[in-house]
Amino acid sequence: MNNLNNITVFGATGKIGKELLTFLSQVNIPTIAVTRDKSKVKTLPNVEWIEADMGNKETLEQTMKNSKSVFLASSVNQNFATEQNNVIESAKRCGVQHIVKLSSPGADKNSQNFIARPNGEVEEFLKASGVNFTIIQPNSFMQNWLGYFSETIQRERKIYEATGEGKKPFIDTRDIAEISFTILTHPKNHINKTHLLTGGVAVNYGQVTEAISKAIGEKIEYVSMTSEEAKQRMTEKGMPPMMINTFIAIAEGQRNGKADFVNTVGEDILAKKLITVEQFAKDYLESFR
């Protein structure tokens, strides 16, 4: 591909990136999909896969030399801020006009949250880079349930959480991908803005289990744990203390009502209702059976 209208997607094999590639491919936009490991790639029309390491600046410019826009996402790790800042620097050198960065709610370089802190560092760097940007801060993903929830549902027909009856506006990654696609392809109203994204409705885990129960035709039980019980479960799974403390703080915030809010930013961008928990459960029912 040699087209100044390319869009480069980092995090292309992730929950959002892989859905974004589908949207871009369907409308014939030439896309560069970046991965560390080509063994995970999915062949799609108009998508060229390039192997690159965000920690190695020398490999990055080849991924953006003909691109007007970049979608920037990656998993949180010890080098997260350095790696994403490398991409931003390389994008600027390549003449990229717009970066859409996947971030997190409450991103702040001074946060104790291991997700919010590095995202805050990158947000600050991006804003100072001189490259046009849009930052999206989606709430917790419904698709995260496909890991830890699906295991205990399949084994015990139970889910375990320490959030009491607290609600949260979970959002489907397919909606996040479509929002990202819309911003990348129609950036005019989103330049140099930060969008906090929520799902259409705030729900508690009792309601989540009801939706999954209905989808699979079997009763799922929500087991409400204390913070100490949740901490013990995570410790037994070998999670590092930094992660445990962050997840406990997030759960306590939900239990205390601090996560019970909804906005219409996503619906306004897409001009339609977002995917509900009930629809999610139907679409992924095989993961819970």
We report the CATH number of the domain holding residue 238 as: 3.90.25.10
| Residues 54, 146 within the same domain | no
Across 204-215, average pLDDT: 97
Q: Check which CATH number belongs to the domain holding 120 and give it.
A: 3.40.50.720
Q: What is the pLDDT of residue 1?
A: 44
- What is the rounded average pLDDT for all residues in the chain? 94
- Report the distance separating Cα 196 and Cα 191, nearest Å: 14
Regarding whether 56 and 105 lie in a shared domain, the answer is yes
Question: What average pLDDT does range 137-166 have in this prediction?
Answer: 94
Query: pTM for this one?
Result: 0.94
Q: pLDDT band at residue 4, thresholds of 50, 70 and 90?
A: low
Q: What is the pLDDT of residue 42?
A: 83
Question: Does residue 189 form part of some domain?
Answer: no
Residue 207 lies in a domain: yes
- The reply to whether 103 falls in a domain is yes
Q: What is the pLDDT of residues 79-103, one digit of tens each?
A: 999 999 999 999 999 999 999 999 9
Instruction: Say whether both 132 and 152 belong to one domain.
Output: no
Same domain? 150 vs 96 = no
Question: What percent of the chain is modeled with pLDDT above 70?
Answer: 99
The two three-digit tokens of residue 117, written as one number: 């802190």
- Both 123 and 209 in one domain: the answer is no
Domain co-membership, 94 together with 162: no
Q: At 115, which amino acid appears?
A: I
pLDDT at 112 over 50: yes
Do 54 and 149 belong together in one domain?
Answer: no
174 within some domain: no
Q: How many domains does the chain have?
A: 2
Predicted confidence at residue 41, as pLDDT, reads 86
Range of the domain at 146: 142-169+200-260+271-287
pLDDT surpassing 50 at residue 20: yes
